[in-house]
Amino acid sequence: MRTHRRIARPLTAGLAGLVAAAALTAGPALAQNRIICSQPVKPTCVNSDITYEDPQGINRCERDVEHYSQSVEDYLSCLQKKQNAQEEALKQLRKTFRCKANDDVEC
């Protein structure tokens, strides 16, 4: 049976944090696959001559740049969480391997 994956819309920082926290509590192997980090898109207004023709354009672009700046911070934080989850999953995998390699029945 084939399952279809939906394309996720970009998550807000708060919702992304909740998803990451839920995934981390579900276990490291699961967490690494559930943390979705959406790379922000640079505002195009910075390189547009039209932006600088009036104060409103400049103000809009400034807001876009500030929003982008916050989005980059959120993205980097998300990547760090994903890295931490991956490291924890690797640690768990090695532990399980050592346990089974030593024929431990408590694995």
Q: Rounded distance, CA 76 to CA 13, Å?
A: 11
Q: Rounded distance, CA 107 to CA 103, Å?
A: 9
Q: Return the domain boundaries, the chain.
A: 13-101
Instruction: Specify the 3-state DSSP secondary structure of 19.
Output: helix
pLDDT in tens, 38-48: 999 999 999 99
Average pLDDT, the chain: 81
pLDDT in tens, 6-19: 333 343 444 444 44
**What angle in degrees, to the nearest 10, is found between the helix axes of 13-26 and 55-101?**
0
Q: Rounded distance, CA 20 to CA 27, Å?
A: 11
Q: What is the pLDDT of residue 43?
A: 98
Burial of 89 (0-12, 13-18, 19+ CB in 10 A): middle
